[in-house]
Chain A
């Protein structure tokens, strides 16, 4: 079978509801590799597309733990390394270390999460094939796009027909 001239098809819908309905139908059809692009978060898509990713939260937990443990290790370690005895105060004072502990907990938790956000999303990426589709600029304005991959000519024809039946505003082929 000849390889399709396009990576996939991009159909634009006028509302999130129509997009969710189309995505649900595509899932029910058993189509693989479908994706959606919207100008604002549409939570129903997570359930339809099976997006279930809790890694960001866990990265935050790991980052926070690292920051807190790191802060105490730093403060205890440096006090041991260069003891400053003032007025008989304890060298290791957990209460006095709590504030820096909390600050570094927050800093590392947020830093780790933001880093994870970019890594998991494979960003930054200046250009990608979707951007060749002129109409795709509306994905950041008022267009709700459904993407179907087309591995070969046959799939391209079938999926175009399938999409046309869903009455989108437009259908574009994403150049390979």
Chain B
């Protein structure tokens, strides 16, 4: 069989671009450059957190009436980014779309890093973070339990579940590739490392059959999990009697906005990794095209959320209308118009295939969306809160230096583990890509 020869060459080529990358990493200098930057940000994070812990949350700009501010804005932003990884991986697995194979692994890793950042924010925001474990139901000498009717308690369970399920899903997916890396490794250190983490995987037929089941069922269950987690975030808002937070469109609006911002970050990471590592055969312009389409689709759905919010306010009148006015032409109108313009104006370029396939254009649009979606969260939190019910209670919100420092530092919390993943683990799924190559060859005879 001549074509089986070709296919085996293909398999080896796939291995070179996936599991063999960490064994002989091609961009060591660039990686060290990025990693030092990330370590610097991480150091900034430690400093910022130490300052908050030592002096209290008063070092931030949060105050009455805007008592949520940056920590919650960034919490929602990071968690939203995370959702795209699960959606790309799980939704497209269920839909049997093979193009996910070039993107799902690093998108899932992005999810894990983003969820860690998101999860840290509410804990730091607690004021007395050393008591964060009070959120967990455990037998204690005070004989009290968490308040399970509070969205804060829901939050704890939602983020924890999401983190653990994402971790398990990612690990199941990477397991066969870790075994592959174990078998390709030539140095003792890598052999032992991959030998331990691959848990003795050997590609036995019955193991693959069970792997298929557990992977598919976990994917099927992860999609509604994403929807539940970000719906819960919207309930966190909706449970407060604040004009601007009670629109019935909130759960889908939040979920789609989350996917929107996440797809933007996935596109940026895909473009960056494609430029830095020899992945061009696996991450092709066609993949960028697909990401562009996903971005456009979720963007338009998010735009519907904006319309719906405005309609709700017009329909409700009263305080809702006043909040709408604050958003359109109040003190923080820049955040509303920033979100509208950055999220939806450059996005329209993506109707063109040539634009979707141009990495520079796609990167610029994605960056614009990531910033726009941050502004949206700023708008949702601040413009709803700064004008309290009584004129005497009106206030302002200006993020302090430590707000920004912590946010920049969170970039380090995100980047350090992500860069370690890029350096030491297969960033693209080898087993599934090989299967895809085989099926394609079989189809075309």
Contacts and interface: CB of A to CB of B under 8 A. Distances in A.
A114 B199 CA distance: 13
A25 interface: no
Interface in B168-182: 168-169, 172, 176, 179-180, 182
B202 A57 contact: no
Given A56-B214, A106-B221, A51 B158 contact: no
Interface in A83-109: 84, 89, 93, 96-97, 99-100, 102-104, 106-107, 109
Given A14-B1, A107-B161, A113-B218, A41 B435 contact: yes
B203 A114 contact: no
Contacts of A100: 148, 153-154, 157
A16 B1 CA distance: 12
B5 interface: yes
Nearest to B206: A51
Nearest to A139: B203
A97 B148 contact: yes
B157 A114 contact: no
Interface size range on A against B: 35 or more
B166 to A, nearest CB: 10
Interface stretch (B6-14, B62-70, B106-114, B369-377): B6-14
Contact of A39 (B146, B161, B203): B203
A126 B196 contact: yes
Contacts of A42: 205, 208
Contacts of B211: 41, 117
B391 interface: no
Interface size range on B against A: 35 or more
Contacts, number: 195
A140 B214 contact: no
B209 A41 contact: yes
Contacts of B36: none
B200 A125 contact: yes
B210 A117 contact: yes
A67 B218 CA distance: 15
A130 B207 CA distance: 15
Contacts of A152: none
Interface string A17-30: 11000000000000
Nearest to A123: B199
B199 A125 contact: yes
B320 interface: no
A155 interface: no
Given A106-B165, A137-B183, A141-B15, A99 B158 contact: yes
Interface stretch (B40-48, B137-145, B272-280): B137-145
Given A99-B158, A99-B228, A140-B203, 8 more contacts: A14-B5, A39-B431, A45-B205, A45-B208, A60-B217, A106-B161, A117-B214, A118-B199
Interface of B: 1, 4-5, 7-8, 11-12, 15, 137, 143-149, 153-154, 157-158, 160-161, 164-165, 168-169, 172, 176, 179-180, 182-184, 195-196, 199-214, 217-218, 221-222, 224-225, 228, 232, 235, 431-432, 434-435, 438
